[in-house]
Structure 1
């Protein structure tokens, strides 16, 4: 996964050694695996809900013992440096922040099945009421906006192809051909997994599709743009890093940037539609409902009332209640990051364009990085200690096209729609 650390400059070897300790310490920490539900339970409950039999699912978790990992992570935090970035090399700051986020995740998982999961999940992923950078609006405000807009426009924007359903095994073969052509033969496998809770999931060398699920053409585009050309791509680039092998693995602290970047990639590649924006926005509203006391059945009905199928409504509610009691007042906050991450990454891309720093945007794909890391680690990108990405998404390979989209976005955002009059539009053409 990483090059020989003996080839590194002596001043960097300490950080490389700490990075290896970090990877060893987190090997037994599996966030989604610990809070996930068995597919057999989901299938039984979906059948019951489809027949109008509503009851809270009986979910049993196995809290892991992560005391040893937490102690090692605390030791790595201390060894990496203090909390003042002015006194620490950016590499030490990166390692300290990363170890801290894993330690919080470990505390969260040890509390699985209790309401004590809520606070650390919010610490890692944020909450619906958090403000959007550069705005006085919150993530919750943005979610409401996209849901309302989708409700206004959605019925008129349904594409004919949205009803075309492709079985998982057919999509598996199609994606394998495409990914072999992009990354090289056999570098990323595509598998059908009947136990997968999400509709799809991606790692560095494997993309999984939920068995029995059907996929639309939009789903196919989203899988390529979101899973393959961001999640798998950044993992593969991160695995090439000679200094920080941890850049090949998603740490809790980079989740918002990574998921935001993946949804932004959908936007830039034309692989997102208003229904998708509504779906990720509804999850944020549902987290807010759960935090304010709604139970699992109430959240399920919320999704159902907004047009989702029985299975999709159940899976959406399940995402909100992973690892927490189902009676209300608790939530697993990870789904907060998709919209907040999208808005923050979009703002970062516009800011980088305005600063004429396209290099920052390319470096964002060098591994599993947070936006903070891309800026703070620039001295080590410049020195060559951190490598630039080998692979870039197709839409990032055409810099002038990307710059054109972002420049247009920068300008049109100055137009206030509430001031636009119909007569003005008619007279201008």
Structure 2
């Protein structure tokens, strides 16, 4: 028992060193564009004045962080066991992120971003098809259904200030008064961003009903919730921090939460799918203006088209042949998380699904670390999203999807359906 306690203490010490080493590694703030620049360029594009944006990035000095992360990676592997492997993989992903930020503003950002977030052509687990195939499918389906994207910009909705007040009341009721604050940030380029104790909304943005439900299900009840659960951990404080290696699972889980809570629509699936197609276009040589025109021709308005294009070219030159691959994770993560939930149901291992919310974990982490959940070294989640609280309803949805996925639509015609009524 003393040896076990000593090992856990050493893991906890390495974990604290990891957190200290990564304090200065801020991926999205480093590659973000100033909102003032975006607003000026959007006005130019709306007026038909197209030019490749020129963005200056501030490169952080992360040499000491990289050296420390390499040391932690080696020492963690020396520990052996699932906890050591977790720390080693986490340190490795932060090191790759640091190397990426060392070359921010150059095409060299592309490869490390693909290492961290994947490539559009990557194969979906359990399938011979790729993320790119899935993106094309959802875009084509949305087009067939006539789900227009431009309407989103034109629709009047709730202001950021009104949504802030509404979300603050909801989160006070769910997490406890004052635990999570909601703020309006005029410099935020994304529509929303969530941390452990603060959710920011983009100033000046308008939020429709789907936006409101998506932000609650996605940002608050996954990203914020898992961060708060991570802060409750007795051993691994790093479970409160989103390391690069957990991004795909985190974003996939958040979009899956939208699906389970009825907060997602086909236009949302089309939007995240178009971003994958856009990454592929940029990698193939399309420049900023060409990718913008792709989004605009797909039905997005001027501002949305610009914001979507900017996401593809964060941290890289805008002349084509380079891309920031993070938006690859939303659809690939959704498909992989959905498959994991179905697998856990099939294997009667529903406890693994609850573990996913105990902190910032990957799908493989919850399997590998199960003994440490059972021993109490890793605490179960204090909070779960409401849809996870209804186990029978969740199991019913997943069981149904497992069965109907065996029906091959290519073998179904209208006559068969008529006879079956």
TM-score by length of 1: 0.95
Partner of 1:349: 341
Aligned pairs (5 A) from 1:151-162: 151-155=143-147
Tell me the C-alpha RMSD between the 2 structures: 1.7
Question: What's the counterpart of residue 331 of structure 2?
Answer: 339
- 1:256 is aligned, of 215, 223, 248, to 248
State how far apart, in whole Å, the 1-side matches of 2:65 and 2:108 are: 19
2:29 to 25, 33, 51: 33
The change in CA–CA distance for 1:159 and 1:354 in structure 2 (over 3 A counts) is farther
Whether the aligned pair in 2 keeps the contact of 1:225 and 1:271 (CA below 8 Å) is: yes
Q: Secondary structure at the match of 1:9?
A: helix
SS in structure 1 of the partner of residue 381 of structure 2: coil
C-alpha distance 199-158 of structure 1, shift in aligned 2 (>3 A): closer
Given the alignment of the two structures, is residue 198 of structure 1 paired with residue 194 of structure 2, yes or no? no
| Whole-angstrom CA distance in 2 between matches of 1:162 and 1:414 | 40
- 8 Å Cα contact 1:241-1:387 kept in structure 2: yes
SS at match of 2:193: strand
Q: 2:122 matched to which residue of 1?
A: 130
Matches of 2:413 and 2:283, distance apart in 1:
41
CA distances 1:361-406 after superposition (whole Å, capped 9, x unpaired): 0000000000110000011001000000000000000000000000
* 3-state SS, counterpart of residue 425 of structure 1: helix
The residue aligned with 1:13 is 9
Structure 1 residue 166 corresponds to structure 2 residue 158? yes
Deviations 1:55-85, CA, capped at 9 Å, x for gaps: 0111001111100000000000011015xxx
SS at match of 2:182: strand
Q: Does 1:296 align with 2:288?
A: yes
In the superposition, the TM-score normalised over structure 2's length comes to 0.97
SS of the residue 1:187 aligns to: coil
CA distance in 1, matches of 2:252, 2:148: 27
Q: Tell me which residue corresponds to 1:407.
A: 399
Quote the offset at 1:155 in angstroms.
4.2
List alignment gaps of at least 5 residues for structure 1. 1-5
Q: Secondary structure at the match of 2:24?
A: coil
Which of 55, 75, 84 aligns to 1:79? It is: 75
* Aligned match of 2:260: 268
Render the CA deviation track for 1:308-340: whole Å, top value 9, x for unaligned: 111100000000000000000000000000000
**d(CA) in 1 for partners of 2:253, 2:282:** 26
Tell me the residue number matched to 2:136: 144
Q: How does 1:89-104 map to 2 (within 5 A)?
A: 89-104=81-96
| Aligned equivalent of 1:3 | none
Alpha-carbon deviation of 1:164?
4.1
**1:89 Cα deviation from its structure 2 partner:** 1.1
Distance (whole Å) between structure 2 residues aligned to residue 388 and residue 275 of structure 1: 35
